[in-house]
Structure 1
Amino acid sequence: MLRIVNRVVTGVVGLVLVVLGGSVLAVGLGVKPPSWWIYDGRHDVLLSDARRTRWRHDGWWWPTVLAVLAVLVLLALWWLVAVLRRRRLTEVAVRTGDGEGALLRGRALEGVLATDAGHLDGVAHAHVRLAGTRTAPEASVRLSLEPHVDPGVALDHLTANALAHARDSAGLDALPTEVQLTGVKHRAERVS
């Protein structure tokens, strides 16, 4: 969702800047703008003194300007924090046999865990996402189960096989996991 909002906001802001910048460049080069455009010619200013001071003495003007600017600043800060915050764990600290440590790419562990979970009996599709910190990762697993599979059995197999294997091979004390089970929907087929 955030990626879509990010792309839409960036696209709209970019389009507005390109249109305004292109129009300023075109008028500066001598192109005659339409009559409804915000300025008329190459020697015209964007905001005249009359337009700039039009509502200065009204009581609502400055509170409105400050409120709009405050909202814009808050939206820009929210967008910046949302873009800079990482949702995925990029690396996991792994204990090695000699007492030293190593870093394992988070996507590699996600891929191995998803492959192990996908090989379980009755699992049509598995998706894994890691979050948390390098030393204390947390997994989020989404399993799509075939209609004949008992969800409790599938969860037991996931816990005993795939999650235990990932936790042991990475040398983690614990791997807290949230599992979401969904059923695969097959289209009806005509039997003749």
Structure 2
Amino acid sequence: MTRVVVNRVLLGVVGVLLLGVGVLVLLGGLDLYRWAGVHPPGWWPLTSPGRPVLSASSRGRWVSSTWWWPTVIGGLVVLVAGMVWWLVAQLRRTGLQSIAVPTPGVSGLRLRVGARALEEAMETRTVVLPEVERVGVRLVRAPRHPRLRGAVRLTPGGDPVALVEHFEDGPRADACGSLGLPELPADLRIRVLQAAPAEPRHRWPRRRRRQSRVI
């Protein structure tokens, strides 16, 4: 599961929960339960504008227990830590801005290539391959060397095996040579489009032949 999918699922779940709680609080604060003649569940405390969210009995039920405050503080710490971790993960960029290119034999020279320029060059080299309809390439960080992530969409009837061979011998090999890297790990996702089904021809119903009777 990618980070984008996880973000969307988490944001969707949190949004639905907050929306539901907000609607319930709004209904109780505006006294819409009484006007609409709706009886909320017995466990829901906010049923009228004059009632607090937590009653006095609910607020003082567990305060005298020894485990109450450690549990509340620990839960809040875990919640805040999780939110901070999620925020840092969003701010951290997995894509590369530039890549250092080795310059053997030249001292004091530091050469860097823009990652987007290399990605566009690889996309241009890949889209001209046979049966390729659309391609997207991105360079991401990796522990040792940059890693390549690509998504290729083939025309109906395309051959993924042939595409991988062309990609290895062409765009990927050129990128390794340009960056001076012995290897460039790649994750390639290939999707083959399905051919549109042929529209069935409309056949007119056959007329039944009248059988003549001989008397």
TM-score range, shorter chain: 0.5 to 0.7
2:159 aligns to what? 150
Structure 2 unaligned regions, length at least 5: 27-32, 35-44, 202-215
Alignment of 1:99-114 (within 5 A): 100-104=110-114, 106-114=115-123
In structure 2, what is the equivalent of residue 119 of structure 1?
128
Structure 2 CA distance for partners of 1:78 and 1:92, relative to 1, 3 Å? same
Residues 51 and 178 of structure 1, relative CA distance in 2, 3 Å threshold: closer
Q: Partner of 1:177 in structure 2?
A: 186
1:166 aligns with 2:149: no
Q: What amino acid is aligned across from residue 163 of structure 1 in structure 2?
A: R
Shift of the alpha carbon at 1:122?
Answer: 0.8
Which residue of 1 is the match for residue 83 of structure 2? Answer: 76
Output aligned runs, 1:1-192, within 5 Å: 1-4=5-8, 55-95=62-102, 100-104=110-114, 106-133=115-142, 136-190=145-199
Structure 1 residue 65: Cα displacement? 1.1
1:175 shift after superposition: 1.4
What is the distance in 1 between the residues matched to 2:143 and 2:11?
29
TM-score (norm: length of structure 1): 0.66
SS in 2 for 1:167: helix
Q: What are structure 1's unaligned runs of at least 5 residues?
A: 24-33
Please say if residues 89 and 133 of structure 1, whose CA atoms lie closer than 8 Å, have aligned partners that are also in contact: no
Q: Which has the higher contact order (CA 8 A, sep 6+)?
A: 1
Give the paired residue count.
182
The amino acid across from 1:87 in the alignment is T
Larger radius of gyration: 2
- How far does residue 73 in structure 1 lie from its aligned partner after superposition? 2.6
- Per-residue CA distance 1:116-175 (angstroms, 9 max, x = gap): 111101112212121125982111222222343332221111111111222223333321
Deviation of the 1:57 alpha carbon: 0.9
Query: What is the aligned-residue identity percentage?
Result: 33
Q: What is the TM-score with the length of structure 2 in the denominator?
A: 0.60
Q: State how far apart, in whole Å, the 1-side matches of 2:186 and 2:168 are.
A: 9
